[in-house]
Amino acid sequence: MEEILSSFYWLLVDSLARREDFTEITGSSTFPLKFCRHRWLENVPVSVRAQEIWIHLTLYIQIMIPDKKYTMPTSKSFKILKEAVQDLVLPAKLAAFELIAKQPEPFLTLFQSESPLIPLW
């Protein structure tokens, strides 16, 4: 899941041409959020956004492969996502990832606050 969510972000983040193609093909101007492997609090919105635009991503990749109008990316992130689109269970995996990431969220939120947790003596 880490590779897929990370690749989803890096595929569209630096290339304005890819973003334009994505918007033109899918009609969606919603883009993925950045995935961070060690910040679990920030990954819940990433997985929610990935679930929201997963259909658009599959459409984008399916059209990019055979179409001559668009230049198919040769990046590692596109290759990872091209393989991920073929997995029919991936939307369920994204939902499971979100569920698991939400469980420690109250605990992590409490201990990542700016207020002191131990009174100063």
| Confidence band of 92 (pLDDT split at 50, 70, 90) | very high
Q: Which long-range contacts (CB under 8 A, 24 or more apart) does 23-31 make?
A: 25/59, 25/60, 25/63, 25/64, 25/70, 26/56, 26/59, 26/60, 28/53, 28/56, 30/56
pTM (predicted TM-score): 0.78
Cα separations in angstroms, 112 against 14, 47, 68? 30, 20, 49
Question: Model confidence over 6-41: pLDDT tens digits?
Answer: 999 998 888 888 899 899 999 988 999 998 877 767
**Domain ranges within the chain, ordered by starting residue:** 2-108
DSSP 40-51: HHHHHHHHHHHH
Q: Could you tell me the two tokens for 69?
A: 């109008």
